[in-house]
Amino acid sequence: MLGLPKSTEFNKRIPKQKFYENLSVTPAIKTAFTEQIKIIYWRNKLAATTLNLAPGKLVTEIEAFEIRLTSPDLDEDILRLIDREIPYHILFLLEYDGKYQAAMGYKEAASSGKAAFKVERYYRTEWLTEEELSLHLEGLTIDAVYENFIRQIAGDRLVGNKNTTLKESVEQQKQREQIEKQIAALETKMKKEKQLNRKMELKAEIKKLRQALVNAQNSKIER
């Protein structure tokens, strides 16, 4: 799958209860896990030992898990549970009814707690046929391979150039989303506002935020 080198193939089925049987998970997550997932396969192990690449400073291994689903809607908390328990970065290949979706979390080392990592957010492709789903193995280190996988999956949601780190791109996206939420809230407020003066004030605030959005986009491209 994905045309990954044969040297990385693992192809081991993992009983899904392995991910929650010894954990204190909520009944809702356990139910979602059992009802939404059919089978989990550990398809590939991408590491310096399986690829002719240098080890990463932040990413030591990338595991590729194929998860066959009972419906196209998978609770993201399930991905978080798996990501939290596996001390490596994970490329999820979700399958439903012959279509595939690649998903990957922006994962950082946890500063506290029992979990090795914390996942800031997940990026997913559209649902595609196996032939259409294409991820290229790019980079000279495992760090670079991970970053390129994330950027390929995220597409236009993460914009940057060779000087923009993945962390910076993710932070910029978060800032952009926060501004967009502020604009949407103010627009809703403006529609309900009866006083003309207050409407004009809200309109001016929205204009400032839209300009901030443009400036953020331009600075991201120019970096």
For residue range 9-25, list pLDDT tens digits in order. 999 999 988 887 766 78
Average pLDDT on 149-159 reads: 89
What pLDDT does 212 receive? 86
Residue found by looking up tokens 């290229």 in the block? 136
Higher pLDDT, 177 or 128: 128
pLDDT at residue 217 is higher than 70: no
Map out the domains of the chain as residue ranges.
6-156, 169-222
This model's pTM is above 0.85 = no
Residue found by looking up tokens 């979706």 in the block? 101
Give percent of the chain above pLDDT 90.
Answer: 60
Burial 112-137 (b: 16+ CB within 10 A, else e): eeeeebbbeebbbbebeeeeebebeb
pLDDT at residue 196 is higher than 50: yes
The model's pLDDT over 41-88, given as tens digits with 9 standing for 90+, comes to 999 999 999 999 999 999 999 999 999 999 999 999 999 988 888 889
Which pLDDT band holds residue 116 (cuts at 50, 70, 90)?
low
pLDDT at residue 223 is higher than 60: no
Average pLDDT on 150-154 reads: 94
**Contact of 76 with 122, CB cutoff 8 Å:** yes
Average pLDDT on 92-117 reads: 84
pLDDT at residue 146 is higher than 60: yes
**Contact of 117 with 146, CB cutoff 8 Å:** no
